[in-house]
Amino acid sequence: MAHSPRLTNKPLRKPDRVAGALAAGFVVLLLATEVVLTLPDETASPAAVASFYATHRTFVVILQLLGVVAAGLLGGYAWRLRTVDRVVSVAGIIMAACGLIPSLITLVIAIVADPTRPGAAGTWNALEPFGDDILFVGIVLFAGAVAVRLGRKLPALGLLALFVAVSCLIRLFLAIMGMNRGPLDAIGPLSFVLLIAVMAILSFLGILDHER
């Protein structure tokens, strides 16, 4: 005698492999572009900045274009999240747009760098911290949205997102106040990358619930 399948109120998981691939691609591309070359910081002299960028111009341009692609992947992932939570999706799109600014500033420096006239490169290099601050504002917005909107159903994800938001917010405050950021300069970005990697896995597995 055949048995009827059991009825259950538990919703079926619907993996979003496209979303997972977009997020994973962002993580891989971001890590690859960040580790291959260390750029001069805002304390470097205009002459040193111009010399560095003129020497590595082609490589820097390629890296920043890849950074723009990475931001596009992140924006695409955020767009896919609209079926999970529209607030998180909008916050993610804003964050991806904020992520373009540091890459565009660095791209301009690479283009205008001229060791015989280093002033322009020095001026744009001084704007790099502001570009980073805008990026961190976007990260805080996104991580906060994930913590509040998705943390109720996925507490572990919510706690991770809250950690990202708090660490990046403290880092942002220290930067604005001109204080030493210490390990937060690394903790904030790395925890953010971990958050996106975890969300990529959850998207692959279909654990991020769709809106009902």
Distance of CA 132 to the CA centre of its chain: 11
Full DSSP string of 48-78:
HHHHHHHHTHHHHHHHHHHHHHHHHHHHHHH
Kindly give the confidence (pLDDT) of every residue in the chain, 212 residues in length, as a single tens digit, with 9 standing for 90 and above.
Answer: 444 444 444 455 678 899 999 999 999 999 988 888 888 988 899 999 999 999 999 999 999 999 999 999 999 999 999 999 999 999 999 999 999 999 999 999 999 999 999 999 999 999 998 999 999 999 999 999 999 999 999 999 999 999 999 999 999 888 888 777 778 788 989 999 999 999 999 999 988 865 54
Neighbours of 146 (CB within 10 A): 27
Question: What distance, in Å, lies between the first and last C-alpha atoms of the chain?
Answer: 37
Task: Report how far residue 96's alpha carbon sits from residue 79's, in angstroms, rounded to the nearest whole number.
Answer: 10
Task: Report how far residue 25's alpha carbon sits from residue 17's, in angstroms, rounded to the nearest whole number.
Answer: 12
* Both structure tokens of 209: 């619930």
